[in-house]
Each structure stands twice: as C-alpha cells, then as structure tokens.
C-alpha cells in the first residue's frame, strides 16, 4: 500500500502550495515579489511586498521571516533570501528610498498600483483593494468615531494604519519620547536605522493618525480617561520589561535588565558598564544586548582605552548548549566574530556583591540539561561544577514581561487571566470590556514582528465590526490558467543561495549605527530571485489523455513522480471514496495512478514537455480576495 494523506485539491490546497505566502501572518505574496525581482520589475515587487504590510521596509531589515523557514527551495538546498530581497526593493521604492520620506507614500501606492501589472495572489489584507473598497462603498467609511491606541509598536502602528484607512480618528499614546515602541528602543540601530523607522511611521501619520509621545498611561492620563475620550481603546503595549533573575544579589547596583539597557542606549543615555560585562541569556535579545555593549565600548571615549585592554571583555552566558541556543545562527556567528565570549550550558546561582553593594561577579554551575524528555523546561545542574566570572556589570536577558501597572481589573472592569494578562480572544483582541481591545504581545505572548503586524490588522477589523455591525470579509475569485510559455532561468536549480554582503567585524563595531548586513546589488538580487521555484505554478494531469508511457517519470530530475496501481492507494475509506469517484465504475485492479510528491517538485516543466499527448500542463494558480462588508 502507498501511505499518505489524501487531499482533494481545493483553494486551500493550492494556496498551501505557495508555502511562503501561507506561512506569512499577513499573507504577503513573497513568491510574487521574488519572481518580479527575477524579471527585473522592481516597482511591482515593492507594491506586492508593501500591499498587506504597512511596515514592509522595517520587515526587510529585521523580520523573523517565517516565509524563508517555509520556503520549499529549502527542501532542495537553502531557502530563498526573501528578507534580503524585500529590503532590496524597499530601498528603491519604499519611504526610505524617497526624497520626501513617508510623505506622499500612500498616494504613490495608489498611482503605482493603477499602472502596475495585475497581481496574482492577493489576500484580503492588501492595501489597494481595501482602499478601492472604501472608495466604491463596498466598505463604508466610519465617521465621527475615534480610537485610542496605547503603544506605538508594530501592532499599534498596523492597527492605526488600517483604522485610519477605514475612516476612524486615531490617536496613539506612547510613553517613550519616540514612536515605534520596541522597534525604536529595543532593536539596535546597527540592525534597524532610525531614519528608516521615522520614514515608515511618517507614512502612517500622514493618513491622519495623531500621536502623543512621552505620555505614560496611569500617570499623564488614565485608562478611564482614554475610554471617555474614545469610542474604543486598543492596548498594544508590548513586552518592554525584562524578567528579573531569581538568584541572590539580583538587586545589586550594576545589575540591569537587557531591554532597559537597549532602551537607554537608543535614547542616548547609556549606563556606565565597567571593564567586564556579563550578559545572561541565550536568545536574540541577549545577543542584541551583548553586541550593543561591544559597540558602546567603541563610541564611549571613556571606555575606548579599556577596550584596548586585554581584560575588557563581554561574556554571554546561557543555560543552553551551543546547539540548543534559541538565538539565530547568524547572531551567534557574528557575535563570535565581534569578540563576545560564550559560556554555554551554565546557570547563575548568585550575583556576588562587594562591600559597597556593587556587582563583583557571577557564580555559575554546570547545566546538564535544559529540557526533560517531554521537552518541558526543566533544567538540571551539577552543583559541584561551578565557575565564577568577575565583572562590573550584569545584563539580564532571560525573558520579557508586559507592564500593566496602569490597569486595575476591578476598577476598570477588565478580566485578567491567571498570568495577570488581559483575558482576550487572541485573534480579534476582544476583551470582557466591549470598548477595550488588546493586540500584539499582550494578546498571545512575545512572537515575531510580523505576528504583531497581523494582530494589529485583525484588531482593526474587529473594531470596525463592533462599530458598524458589519464585518470585512473576502469575496474570493480563484482560477488556474495554462502557462504555455512557462520557462525557467538556465541553471536555476543548481544556483547556490547568495552570500549576503556584510561589513567586517572591525568596521561594524566602530559605532552603534554601522550596519552589519549590506544591500544586495541588482545582479545578485536577480540571481537570487531566479532560484525561486515559483510554487504558484502547478503540474496538472488529465487522466483521460494519459497513455501511461512513463515519460514524465523518466524525465523528472527530482524523482517526484511515480506511476502505481490504483489498488495500492486504497488504505482507508476516504482514499477509497476518492479513487472510486475518479474511476467512475472502472475496475480498480486495472487502474493506475500518478503520485506526485509536491515537497520536492522543482517546477521545471520537463514532464509537460515530455508528455506526448498533452496530458500534463503547467498551470498558474491565481486568487484574489476582494474585501467587502457583510452583516456581523
């Protein structure tokens, strides 16, 4: 028997084949813009990338890129460098590449969208269909309704963007002196330039969104006052507080939260660090902290001499082994290049304090395991294997927490869960208070930047539904079109992934804003984009024309096709029903079937070329979800 999942192709099946788009929380058609780059149509590529994502330029620098993790090319060798390709087109057509910055960006998108080539796979989150739906009244604009958003991080900005387009009067309240939340104060400048953030935010403000910075909820204005001022309030505060370290001495002078340290550096108020710094943690934020310390030593003249001293060191200590560290591989590699000293498989037992109350060192014990047999966090230690690292400063990066000090559950009538978070529907952000919503980290815990963007957009639609009694739902159109001229670039299947250009460790550690990763050039971008397998194109088989010659199987370079007796397929009721429907009374024992392994098909089209009867065609799957209103 042939074992495997039985699937009758439908919209969800064909959409799932475009694995990069299916993995993106806002359904960005990454395949679409990557193929547009391969063809040299950079403007169309940008329009596709920006369509569902108001923070496309930021994502081109720092997105966790779930699209790359799901890229089918990764099954062959290495995934497409999708994030780098997004950066490539955003730098040419996004707000960071325009003389006016974010001003006029939305109008440009409208005009360019009218003259650009038709899109192929548009989901309901797309900007231009949403704008068009408001213009032709398929989605009525909201008037005389206002929304207050607490927090200007990616969730808050995305919600503000879509709510403004839908007609709401939107005001963002941000406790920091700058907008963009953790994007501006938590991500180091060497990864995300501040002028890029300002340009991206400027485009959202130009929609009519207002913002009040240095406004702390609970101090400058209360939640109750915001609820009086606005028809709805979205709480999108993010996880901006470091979790404390539960060991003796954790409250000593010189112990600083990693997130707080990054914030102080970002706003130009870095704390004194001393000669030896210990960073505790093994994730990406810990590396942001450690690598920022290395750079701070260069930009602070008082510490420049110390950095030339052999004792001027930065340790990064984690429970996990090198193989288990949650940080991205590139962070670990670049951290090693920049001189960070790793101590893996160690856990802190005590922070040593000198007579003045100042940090003197950290004692660690060997960590034998981090997780138990069920992969639950359950570290085990060897108390006899210890090490003490002398240091002047300890930066703690073992997790982040949300600060809800401005909220009183009883007073505000908002139900909390057992963790002290606001109880909510994670998808819509609705809470026990009909006028209060949550978005981003507060809705589902810390995830990727693009998840926060998706959360903000979903909450915007939930606010619209509650305000109007109408939901924005997609009206779908889908079809397969034959691609008779389908062809691929010569040697695309053998082309290795591009090596992303970077500054040397010596160059990039001279300042906080010296970039690490550099931009791709046009030739490199087109070459990398041409590696895309174009998973929107499918091989479609016509059984009535097939003569079972086996030519398709013989010519397939990835061995993804197999001709078998249909009787070998019948192993459960659902498969038997499917086979019976296709055979329509033909004897099962005399029938054959072509099995295709979609995971390894490289869309070369050789099977269609080889087929003597035209039973195999290469067809492109297209879909468009047009947003429209329906009664809630």
CA distance 124 to 38: 25
Q: What is the mean pLDDT of the chain?
A: 91
List, as one string, the DSSP characters of 289-328.
HHHHHHHHHHH-HHHHHHHHSTT-EEEEE-SS-TTT--S-
Q: Which of 19, 8, 6, 4 is nearest to 601 (CA)?
A: 19
Nearest to 70 by CA among 20, 15, 17, 18: 20
Domains in the chain, start-ordered, CATH in brackets? 1-138+486-535 (1.10.1060), 140-240+402-468 (3.50.50.60), 245-396 (3.50.50.60), 537-631 (3.30.70.20)
Among candidate residues 333, 320, 306, 324, the one with its CA nearest the CA of residue 393: 306
pLDDT digits (tens, 9 = 90+) for 352-402: 999 999 999 999 999 999 999 888 999 999 999 999 999 999 999 999 988
- Looking at per-residue pLDDT, the higher value among 323 and 128 belongs to 323
52 band by pLDDT with thresholds 50, 70 and 90: very high
User: Hey, what are 489's tokens?
Assistant: 């670039």
Q: Is 449 helix (H, G, I), strand (E, B) or coil?
A: helix
Spatial distance between the Cα atoms of 48 and 176, rounded to a whole number of angstroms: 32
pLDDT tens for 481-530 read 888 788 899 999 999 999 999 999 999 999 999 999 999 999 999 999 99
Q: Which tens digits make up the pLDDT trace of 561-582?
A: 999 887 776 665 666 676 677 6
Q: What is the mean pLDDT of residues 210-233?
A: 97
pLDDT class of 470 with cuts at 50, 70, 90: very high
Tokens of 590: 């005399």
DSSP strand E in 323-358: where?
341-343, 346-353
As given in the structure block, the two tokens for residue 268 are: 């130009």
Residue with tokens 């054959």: 592
> What does the pLDDT look like over 140-173, one tens digit per residue?
999 999 999 999 999 999 999 999 999 999 999 9
pLDDT tens for residues 59-109? 999 999 999 999 999 999 999 999 999 999 999 999 998 888 899 999 998
């Amino acid at each position: 028997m042939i074992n495997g999942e039985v699937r009758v192709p439908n919209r969800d099946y064909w959409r799932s084949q475009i694995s990069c788009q299916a993995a993106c929380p806002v359904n960005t058609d990454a395949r679409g813009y990557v193929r547009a780059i391969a063809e040299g149509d950079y403007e169309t590529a940008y329009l596709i990338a920006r369509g569902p994502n108001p923070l496309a330029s930021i994502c081109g620098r720092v997105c966790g890129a779930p699209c790359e993790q799901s890229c089918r090319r990764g099954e062959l060798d290495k995934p497409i460098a999708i994030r780098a390709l997004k950066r490539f087109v955003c730098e040419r057509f996004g707000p960071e590449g325009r003389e006016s910055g974010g001003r006029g960006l939305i109008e440009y998108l409208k005009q360019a969208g009218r003259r650009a080539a038709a899109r192929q796979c548009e989901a309901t989150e797309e900007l231009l269909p949403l704008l068009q739906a408001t213009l032709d009244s398929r989605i009525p604009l909201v008037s005389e309704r206002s929304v207050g958003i607490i927090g200007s991080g990616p969730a808050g900005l995305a919600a503000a963007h879509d709510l403004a387009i839908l007609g709401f009067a939107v005001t963002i309240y941000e406790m920091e002196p700058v907008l963009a939340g953790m994007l501006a104060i938590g991500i180091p400048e060497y990864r995300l330039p501040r002028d890029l953030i300002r340009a991206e935010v400027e485009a959202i403000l130009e929609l009519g969104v207002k913002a009040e910075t240095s406004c702390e909820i609970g101090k400058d204005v209360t939640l109750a006052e915001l609820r009086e001022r606005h028809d709805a309030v979205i709480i999108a505060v993010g996880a901006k507080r470091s979790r404390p370290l539960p060991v003796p001495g954790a409250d000593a002078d010189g112990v600083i939260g990693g997130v707080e340290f990054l914030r102080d550096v970002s706003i130009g108020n870095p704390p004194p660090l001393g000669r030896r710094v210990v960073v505790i943690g093994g994730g990406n934020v810990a590396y942001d902290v450690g690598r920022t310390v290395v750079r701070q030593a260069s930009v602070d003249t008082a510490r420049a001499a110390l950095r030339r001293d052999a004792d001027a060191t930065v340790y990064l200590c984690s429970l996990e082994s090198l193989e288990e560290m949650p940080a991205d591989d590139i962070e670990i590699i670049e951290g090693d290049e920049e001189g960070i000293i790793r101590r893996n498989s160690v856990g802190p037992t005590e922070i040593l304090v000198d007579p003045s109350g100042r940090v003197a060192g950290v004692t660690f014990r060997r960590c034998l395991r981090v997780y138990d047999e069920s992969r639950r966090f359950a570290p085990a230690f060897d108390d006899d294997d210890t090490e003490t690292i002398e240091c002047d400063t300890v930066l703690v990066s073992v997790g982040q927490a949300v600060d809800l000090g401005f909220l009183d559950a009883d007073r505000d009538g908002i139900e909390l869960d057992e963790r002290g978070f606001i109880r909510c529907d994670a998808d819509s952000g609705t809470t026990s208070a009909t006028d209060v919503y949550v978005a981003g980290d507060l809705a589902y815990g810390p995830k990727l930047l693009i998840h926060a963007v998706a959360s903000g957009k979903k909450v915007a639609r939930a606010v619209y539904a509650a305000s109007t009694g109408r939901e924005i739902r997609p009206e779908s159109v889908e079809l397969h079109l034959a691609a008779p001229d389908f062809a691929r670039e010569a040697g695309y299947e053998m082309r290795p992934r591009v090596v992303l250009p970077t500054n040397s460790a010596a160059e990039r550690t001279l300042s906080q804003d010296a970039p690490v990763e550099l931009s791709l050039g046009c030739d490199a971008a087109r070459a990398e984009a041409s590696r895309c397998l174009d998973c929107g194109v499918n091989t479609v088989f016509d059984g009535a024309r097939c003569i079972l010659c086996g030519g398709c199987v013989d010519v397939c370079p990835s061995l993804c096709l197999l001709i078998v007796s249909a009787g070998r397929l019948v192993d459960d009721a659902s498969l038997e029903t499917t086979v019976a429907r296709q055979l329509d009374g033909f004897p099962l024992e005399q029938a054959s079937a072509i099995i295709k392994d979609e995971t390894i098909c490289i869309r070369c089209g050789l099977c269609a070329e080889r087929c003597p009867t035209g039973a195999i065609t290469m067809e492109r799957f297209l879909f468009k979800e047009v947003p429209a209103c329906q009664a809630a």
